[in-house]
């Protein structure tokens, strides 16, 4: 199964459940992958994508992850999913803009 190759802690208490089925990835990693699936859609809107979107969309994941790691608070799966989705979208924007930049230089 390809999901074995995705780096994720796979803690069951941080994964989504439907009935007795537990998702093989945590909520945050699941959302990052969902963000990657938006790549074709974001390519259509590429004239409206800017580099400064990337850090703005990544900051919530960093704040959520580090405040939980430092035991300042405990996150929940909904917040993990939202911050993961924003991060996945930011990473996808980075890919789109990088490909566009490289094609302009190389072509």
Per the model's pLDDT, the better-predicted residue between 79 and 41 turns out to be: 79
Which token pair is 15? 């994964």
Write down the pLDDT at residue 13. Answer: 77
Q: Is the pLDDT of residue 76 over 80?
A: yes
Q: Percent of the chain having pLDDT more than 70?
A: 93
Element (H, E) at 96: helix 77-106
pTM: 0.84
Q: Is the pLDDT of residue 1 over 60?
A: no
* Domain boundaries, given as residue ranges, for the chain: 27-106
DSSP string, 39-60: HHHHHHTGGG--TTHHHHHHHH
Per the model's pLDDT, the better-predicted residue between 2 and 24 turns out to be: 24
Report pLDDT digits (tens) over 77-106.
Answer: 999 999 999 999 999 999 889 998 999 999
Per the model's pLDDT, the better-predicted residue between 15 and 87 turns out to be: 87
């Amino acid at each position: 199964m390809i999901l074995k190759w995705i780096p994720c802690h796979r803690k069951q208490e941080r994964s989504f459940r439907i009935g007795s089925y537990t998702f093989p990835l945590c909520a945050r990693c699941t959302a990052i992958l969902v963000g990657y699936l938006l790549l074709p859609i974001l390519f259509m809107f590429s004239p409206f994508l800017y580099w400064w979107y990337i850090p703005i969309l990544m900051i919530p994941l960093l704040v959520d992850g580090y405040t939980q790691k430092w035991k300042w608070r405990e996150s929940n799966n909904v917040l993990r999913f939202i911050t993961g989705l924003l991060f996945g979208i930011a990473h996808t924007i980075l890919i789109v803009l990088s490909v566009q930049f490289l094609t302009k230089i190389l072509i």
